[in-house]
A and B are shown apart, each in its own frame.
Chain A
Amino acid sequence: QSALTQPASVSGSPGQSITISCTGTSSDIGNYKYVSWYQQHPGKAPKLMIYEVNNRPSGVSNRFSGSKSGNTASLTISGLQTEDEADYYCSSYTSSSTWVFGGGTQLTVL
């Protein structure tokens, strides 16, 4: 149950686009469509932003999108806004019938 691999930090300017990668294995991301992305602001609970690779829950801005290729999933945020500054986590269902999270990526909007 090793954690998925995410970059520790990414940054961008308002209006720009950024992409956060999430690398797993053939036992998780590579073999399942059950990849989710979460946003967490300091002191708050995580919020689901993307589920099943590229689906947005009701109420989540269409500036957030997800994709997957092989063992790597990606979250793209377009038209960056200051309120997007937060920690982002990916997660995946695994072949052990468990779930695994990434280590988290801190997004800074410069």
Chain B
Amino acid sequence: EVQLVESGGGLVQPGGSLRLSCADSGLTFSSNWMHWVRQVPGKGLVWVSRIESDGTTTNYADSVKGRFTISRDNAKNTLYLQMNSLRVEDTAVYYCARGEGSAGPAQWGQGTLVTVSS
């Protein structure tokens, strides 16, 4: 079964930085749009960012715009989320997901927990 595996989560202080990775074991990574979605434990899903298949077009939620950067390395089948100027309210489980055009997230990884706390 094709899997998405996130890594890079952990504890970071407010104002700090963290880079999340998402490794895709599938054969079509370079053809897929990719998303990051986050979820505060016990709360709802919140869309964070998306990148088109060739990496040239990206979009962000207003809450992370200017602080987070989504990128991808199609040669390594890996998606990234660089998170800077982290805030306590960025604490969440971060999921990567494979998408099909404008249809949005389809196949999801298992998530990685990011905790922003002093």
Give me the interface of A with B, judged by CB distance under 8 Å: 1, 3, 32, 34, 36, 38, 40, 45-48, 51-52, 57, 89, 91-93, 96-104
Give me the interface of B with A, judged by CB distance under 8 Å: 35, 37, 44-47, 50, 59-62, 95, 100, 102-111
Shortest CB–CB separation between residue B28 and chain A, in angstroms?
15
- Residues in A with CB closer than 8 Å to B44 are 3, 89, 101-104
Residue of B nearest to A46 (CB): B108
Q: Are B110's CB and A45's CB within 8 A?
A: yes
The CA-CA distance from A3 to B35 in the complex, in Å, is 17
Shortest CB–CB separation between residue A45 and chain B, in angstroms?
4
The CA-CA distance from A49 to B58 in the complex, in Å, is 26
Q: A51-B103, A93-B104 are in contact. List 18 more A-B contacts (CB 8 A).
A: A36-B103, A38-B45, A40-B45, A45-B108, A46-B108, A89-B44, A91-B105, A93-B102, A97-B59, A98-B59, A98-B61, A99-B35, A99-B47, A99-B105, A101-B44, A101-B46, A101-B47, A102-B44
